[in-house]
């Protein structure tokens, strides 16, 4: 056994027993999907899961900053996924984080640090985060995060009260949710205190309050004058300004199967290509932003005087600062400017540093995107876009498309991830711009490449109508297809870039395919006929890019 100091992260699902009692199979399936998302975020943030029990997750991080950043990313991602479900069926985590001395034994961690993290998790709001004072001290000046001080809290099996803070989580509309302040721990008065003592206690408190109030009043006058002088002295360092892009982007939650789960099932890593901290800044390589913003960066940021910094968020909002007194001031100014712009357009995404000086420091790497070309126009399969025809979309998602994408100005595009999560942008300068941005944002959220399904008011992929689309079709890991035939199916589908395609399999997993058919009906009939030549009990499993099942 060895001792060490670590940031301990504890997460648990609120109301898990009720969810299981109402629908055990669906709850367990969603738990596996959500856990895949949580595990992926923890791994990408440099954390290590050391214990799990049912719906609970315990992880260690070498840095409190990374632990809190990871927790925020997890809660924002799961909040998006929960939007697809009614409030009674939403699956939300509580997360607690502390820094403590722990003992490591056979890979597991034990000690007060683990216990306190678990108790802080219990103090967190549903979908929220609660941290100890030690974590707050480490994070307060390093992350653009708001906290609510809830004071010292008495928690089970911990002898002394734990001083705690709640993290103010960002709502979908970009505003901050005000945490519900929990009452600090209070020791009960001894049973022997007599009623006659209360008037005396009240009088003493009043006298003390009067004295303290007077002291604070005069102190406030002095501090206000000093603060005014300090502000005037610092106003000479102003950040470089840049036009704030106004993206019209919406992210909608997927059904239970998540991209990370899909990658795990397929045996593929869902990691994102890493950006080296030594990579030089290039405006053309900045993701998420508009082409116009790239021009601003090339003209203003590249030539700006150091110390300088550049921040952005997933919706393409940017913030620039240059000619600052030092690097820390540049970082703070860039993040503040970016976040103010993000808040003004109600972007739910937080801003992060992308570059300091001429070096890229963005921690998440380049977003995964599919190989070029990102879309193909085929009159044989194209048809007018309709929200109700979007594959594996719930009513809430269709309503968002109806209310936001349909009336949106061109150029516009929709990208869909493997789990059904989607991103769209409207009112873009060009089709290539909105396609790139939609794929970059969707890929960053999903962790794997997404697919463009609609451009302007047209579906640009074949959308099944004869059967129900249940998800993206991935022949390389489809268990219905015999193992020795999967690669060949994947290759032939990749080469058939036009027309309607369909795949059918029989009881022995022998596939039958129809490629480049003139209609959906022709593709289905052709696939079934081809399958019947080599297998029995054939049925269609894919139409176009989608896995399908009965309507």
pLDDT of residue 108: 87
Q: What is the mean pLDDT of residues 83-108?
A: 88
For helices 64-82 and 24-44, angle between their N-to-C axes, nearest 10 degrees: 150
**For 367, which DSSP code?**
P
CA of residue 364 relative to chain centroid, distance: 12
Q: Are 378 and 478 found together in one domain?
A: no
Check pLDDT > 90 for residue 502: yes
pTM summary value:
0.53
Give the angle subtended at the CA of 531 by the CAs of 527 and 534, to the nearest 5°: 160
Verify cis geometry, omega within 30 degrees of 0, for the bond prior to 307.
yes
Domain-embedded: residue 96 = yes
Q: What is the mean pLDDT of residues 424-447?
A: 92
Strands 413-416 and 162-167: unpaired
Per-residue confidence at 203, pLDDT binned at 50, 70, 90?
Answer: low
Percent of the chain with pLDDT over 90: 48
Check pLDDT > 70 for residue 214: no
Is 438 within 8 Å of 375 (Cβ atoms)? no
pLDDT of residue 49: 93
Q: What is the mean pLDDT of residues 141-158?
A: 85
Give the residue with greater pLDDT, 338 vs 230.
Answer: 338
Name the nearest CA neighbour of 97 among 145, 129, 52, 122.
Answer: 129
**Would you state the structure tokens that stand for residue 124, as one six-digit string?**
């967190």
Domain-embedded: residue 173 = no
Is 109 within 8 Å of 2 (Cβ atoms)? no
Strands 147-153 and 413-416: unpaired
Question: CB-hemisphere CA count at 13 Å for 338?
Answer: 29
Number of helical (H) and strand (E) elements in the chain, helices listed first: 13, 23
Per-residue confidence at 193, pLDDT binned at 50, 70, 90?
Answer: very low
Tell which of 214, 236, 258 closes a domain: 236
Strands 93-105 and 129-132: parallel
Q: Are 53 and 124 found together in one domain?
A: yes
Q: What is the mean pLDDT of residues 80-88?
A: 80
* Cα-based distances in Å from 220 to 207, 216, 226, 231: 20, 6, 10, 16
Q: In b/e form, how buried is each residue of 50-87, taking b as 16+ CB within 10 angstroms?
A: beeeebebbbbbebbbbbbbbbbbbbbbbbbbbbbbee
Domain-embedded: residue 180 = no
Q: Are 415 and 327 found together in one domain?
A: yes
Tell which of 421, 442, 461 closes a domain: 461
Check pLDDT > 70 for residue 210: no
Per-residue confidence at 197, pLDDT binned at 50, 70, 90?
Answer: very low
Q: Which residue has the tokens 């990408």?
A: 44
CA of residue 25 relative to chain centroid, distance: 25
**Would you state the structure tokens that stand for residue 309, as one six-digit string?**
């910094």
When the pLDDT of each residue in the chain is averaged and rounded to a whole number, the result is 80
Q: Are 269 and 229 found together in one domain?
A: no
CATH code for the domain in which residue 149 is found: 3.30.70.1230
Q: Are 364 and 222 found together in one domain?
A: no
User: 176: Cβ–Cβ under 8 A, 6 or more apart, which residues?
Assistant: 146, 168, 169, 170
User: 468: Cβ–Cβ under 8 A, 6 or more apart, which residues?
Assistant: 548, 549, 550, 551
pLDDT tens figures, 230-253? 323 222 333 333 333 334 444 433
Domain-embedded: residue 182 = no
Give the residue with greater pLDDT, 463 vs 168.
Answer: 463
How far apart (Å, rounded) are the C-alpha atoms in residues 190 and 197? 12
- Number of Cβ atoms within 10 Å of the Cβ of 171: 12
Domain-embedded: residue 185 = no
Q: Are 228 and 357 found together in one domain?
A: no
Domain-embedded: residue 176 = no
Per-residue confidence at 89, pLDDT binned at 50, 70, 90?
Answer: confident
- Number of Cβ atoms within 10 Å of the Cβ of 394: 16
Strands 309-312 and 318-321: antiparallel
3-state secondary structure 169-198: CECCCCCECCCCCCCCCCCCCCCCCCCCHH
- Domain range for residue 155? 2-167
Q: Are 261 and 372 found together in one domain?
A: yes
pLDDT of residue 53: 79
Least confident of 13-27, 238-252, 269-283, 364-378: 238-252
How far apart (Å, rounded) are the C-alpha atoms in residues 216 and 375? 65
Check pLDDT > 50 for residue 318: yes
pLDDT of residue 306: 93
Q: Are 82 and 159 found together in one domain?
A: yes
Q: Are 216 and 312 found together in one domain?
A: no
Q: Are 255 and 384 found together in one domain?
A: yes
Tell which of 415, 437, 461 closes a domain: 461
CA of residue 33 relative to chain centroid, distance: 14
User: 399: Cβ–Cβ under 8 A, 6 or more apart, which residues?
Assistant: 387
How far apart (Å, rounded) are the C-alpha atoms in residues 118 and 114? 6
3-state secondary structure 63-83: CHHHHHHHHHHHHHHHHHHHC
Q: Are 22 and 86 found together in one domain?
A: yes
pLDDT of residue 372: 87
- The H-or-E segment that residue 114 falls in is helix 112-123
Q: Which residue has the tokens 């809430």?
A: 396
How far apart (Å, rounded) are the C-alpha atoms in residues 512 and 531? 4
Q: Are 231 and 244 found together in one domain?
A: no
pLDDT of residue 457: 94
pLDDT of residue 273: 43
Domain-embedded: residue 183 = no
The length of the chain is 551
**Would you state the structure tokens that stand for residue 263, as one six-digit string?**
């990658």
Q: In b/e form, how buried is each residue of 148-157, taking b as 16+ CB within 10 angstroms?
A: bebbebebee
pLDDT of residue 364: 86
The backbone torsions φ and ψ at residue 434, rounded to the nearest 5 degrees and listed phi first, read -70, -30
Structural domain count of the chain:
4
Query: Which segments of 304-421 are extended strands (E)?
Result: 309-312, 318-321, 352-356, 359-360, 383-384, 413-416
pLDDT of residue 170: 63
pLDDT tens figures, 247-285? 444 443 333 333 333 333 233 333 334 444 468 999 999
User: 348: Cβ–Cβ under 8 A, 6 or more apart, which residues?
Assistant: 76, 170, 171, 172, 173, 174, 251
pLDDT of residue 272: 39
Domain-embedded: residue 25 = yes
Give the angle subtended at the CA of 267 by the CAs of 445 and 542, to the nearest 5°: 80
Q: What is the mean pLDDT of residues 373-381?
A: 89
CA of residue 247 relative to chain centroid, distance: 18
* Maximum separation of any 2 CA atoms in the chain, in Å: 98
Give the residue with greater pLDDT, 272 vs 54.
Answer: 54
């Amino acid at each position: 056994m060895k001792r060490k100091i670590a940031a301990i992260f504890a997460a648990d699902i609120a109301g898990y027993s009720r969810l299981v009692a109402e629908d055990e199979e669906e709850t367990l399936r969603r738990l596996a999907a959500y856990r895949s998302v949580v595990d992926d975020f923890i791994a990408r943030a440099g954390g290590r899961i050391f214990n799990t029990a049912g719906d609970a997750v315990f992880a260690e991080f070498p840095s409190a900053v990374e632990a809190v950043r990871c927790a925020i990313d997890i809660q924002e991602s799961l909040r998006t996924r929960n939007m697809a479900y009614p409030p009674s069926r939403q699956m939300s985590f509580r997360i607690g984080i502390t820094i403590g001395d722990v003992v490591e034994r056979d890979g597991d961690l034990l000690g007060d640090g683990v216990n306190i993290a678990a108790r802080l998790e219990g103090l967190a709001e549903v979908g929220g985060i609660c941290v100890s004072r030690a974590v707050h001290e480490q994070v307060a000046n390093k992350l653009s995060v708001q906290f609510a001080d809830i004071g010292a809290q008495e928690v089970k099996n911990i002898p002394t009260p734990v001083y705690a803070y709640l993290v103010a989580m960002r709502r979908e509309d970009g505003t901050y949710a005000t945490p519900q302040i929990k009452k600090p721990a209070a020791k009960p008065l001894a049973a022997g205190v007599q009623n006659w003592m209360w008037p005396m206690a009240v009088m003493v408190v009043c006298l003390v309050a009067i004295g303290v109030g007077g002291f604070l009043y005069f102190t406030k006058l002095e501090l206000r004058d000093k603060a005014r002088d300090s502000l005037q002295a610092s106003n000479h360092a102003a950040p470089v300004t840049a036009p704030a892009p106004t993206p019209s982007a919406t992210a909608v939650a997927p059904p239970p199967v998540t991209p990370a789960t899909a990658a795990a099932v397929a045996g593929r890593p869902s990691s994102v290509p890493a950006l080296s901290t030594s990579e030089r800044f290039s405006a053309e390589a900045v993701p998420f932003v508009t082409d116009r913003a790239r021009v601003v960066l090339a003209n203003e940021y590249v030539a700006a005087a150091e110390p300088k910094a550049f921040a952005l968020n997933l919706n393409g909002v940017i913030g620039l600062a240059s000619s600052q007194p030092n690097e820390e001031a540049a970082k703070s100014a860039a993040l503040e400017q970016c976040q103010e712009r993000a808040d003004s357009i109600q972007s739910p995404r937080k801003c992060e540093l992308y570059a300091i000086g001429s070096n890229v420091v963005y921690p998440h790497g380049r977003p995964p995107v599919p190989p070029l070309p990102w879309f193909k126009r085929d009159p044989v399969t194209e048809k007018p876009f309709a929200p109700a025809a979007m594959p594996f979309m719930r009513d809430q998602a269709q309503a968002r498309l109806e209310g936001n994408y349909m009336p949106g100005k061109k150029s516009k595009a929709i990208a869909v991830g493997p789990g059904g999560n989607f991103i769209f942008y409207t009112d873009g300068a060009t089709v290539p711009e909105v396609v790139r941005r939609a794929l970059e944002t969707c890929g960053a959220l999903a962790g794997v490449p997404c697919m463009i399904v609609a451009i302007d008011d047209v579906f640009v992929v074949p959308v099944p109508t004869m059967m129900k689309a249940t998800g993206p079709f991935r022949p390389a890991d489809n268990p219905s297809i015999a193992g020795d035939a999967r690669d060949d199916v994947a290759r032939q589908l990749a080469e058939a870039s036009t027309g309607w395609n369909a795949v059918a399999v029989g009881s022995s997993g022998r596939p039958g395919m129809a490629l480049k058919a003139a209609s959906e009906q022709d593709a289905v009939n052709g696939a079934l006929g081809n399958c019947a030549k080599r297998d029995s009990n054939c049925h269609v499993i894919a139409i176009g890019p989608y896995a399908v099942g009965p309507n």
